[in-house]
């Protein structure tokens, strides 16, 4: 059930392809090995209006939040988060080169007592594995 939401300043669209950017995060999340494949969901939200720092410069930002389920210890989460951040950060080098940029990544843990889901992607992936 990992949810990655990337909020970003609209001016980033002129520097990076956001379709590629969410794919970079998806791949990095798979590589950590701690998430069920069928549960990984990465998405980006473009923010047309923003105000940063002193409000004057050619500033931009991308802020990613991962919401994940309970049950992974801190060391596991830190190792996985470090890996994903490193991949995303490298992908954002052009943004740091072309603008003054702030990248951030935080994790939140969902309360399993108030969590509901329905998902037919898991089954679709199993069928692929059997037939593939």
Instruction: Work out how close the CB of 47 gets to its own copies at its nearest, in angstroms, rounded to a whole number.
Output: 4
Question: How distant, in Å, are the alpha carbons of 18, 55, 69 from that of 50?
Answer: 18, 9, 30
Instruction: Work out how close the CB of 39 gets to its own copies at its nearest, in angstroms, rounded to a whole number.
Output: 7
Cβ atoms within 10 Å, residue 41 = 16
- DSSP SS3 for 57: coil
Instruction: Work out how close the CB of 128 gets to its own copies at its nearest, in angstroms, rounded to a whole number.
Output: 8
Token pair for 132: 């593939």
Sign of the CA dihedral running 58, 105, 6, 63: negative
For position 28 contacting its own copies by CB under 8 A, the verdict is no
Residues 70-129 that bind its own copies (CB under 8 A): 74, 77-78, 81-82, 85, 89, 92, 96, 100-108, 110-111, 113-121, 124-125
Name the residue among 65, 50, 58 with its Cα closest to residue 2.
65
Residues of the shown chain interacting with its own copies in the complex, contacts defined by CB under 8 A: 1, 3, 5, 7, 9, 18-19, 21-23, 25-27, 30, 37-55, 57, 59, 61, 63, 65, 67, 74, 77-78, 81-82, 85, 89, 92, 96, 100-108, 110-111, 113-121, 124-125
């Amino acid at each position: 059930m990992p949810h990655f939401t990337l909020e970003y300043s609209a001016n980033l669209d002129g520097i990076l392809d956001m379709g590629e950017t969410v794919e970079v995060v998806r791949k990095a999340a798979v590589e950590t090995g701690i998430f069920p494949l069928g549960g990984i969901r990465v998405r980006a939200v473009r923010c047309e209006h923003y105000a940063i720092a002193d409000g004057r410069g050619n500033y931009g930002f991308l802020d990613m939040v991962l919401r994940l389920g309970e049950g992974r210890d801190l060391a596991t989460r830190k190792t996985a988060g470090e890996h994903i951040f490193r991949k995303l950060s490298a992908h954002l080098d052009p943004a740091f080169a072309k603008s003054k940029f702030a990248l951030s990544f935080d994790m939140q843990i969902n309360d399993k007592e108030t969590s509901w889901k329905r998902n037919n992607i898991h089954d679709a992936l199993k069928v692929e594995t059997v037939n593939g």
